[in-house]
Amino acid sequence: MIIIHKTRIFAERDNSMNTKLTLTIEKEVIEIAKEYAKEKGQSLSEMVENYFKFVTIKRMKIKEKQLSPKVRKLRGIIKADDNFDYKQILTEELSKKYGV
């Protein structure tokens, strides 16, 4: 959970593994962000959390326990070159499939 406040930044844990965070942000930015979040059907906390997840995704590690047993069993059996570009391959295969 993120709490927008005026002057300090602090963190506090609650029982559900969320952390309260106080940020200093310009008032106008907060007002516009609240309107945007409401239009999207999200809380401001959810919107900020999703943004943080987006910008930190490469730093997050998937824990072995988070994977299903089937995925754990398959993990690492296919080796690809370091320069393998799956987006390029996907684009080429979809172009072939749809004749583009």
Helix, strand or coil for residue 66? helix
The residue-averaged pLDDT of 16-40 equals 88
Helix, strand or coil for residue 92? helix
pLDDT tens sequence across 87-96: 888 899 989 9
Domain span at 80: 2-98
pLDDT tens sequence across 31-76: 999 999 999 899 999 988 888 888 887 776 666 667 788 887 887 8
Whether the pLDDT of residue 7 is over 70: the answer is no
Please count the structural domains in the chain.
1
Assigned token pair, 65: 């326990």
pTM of the model: 0.44
Beta strand pairing call for 19-24 and 2-5 = parallel
The residue-averaged pLDDT of 14-27 equals 80
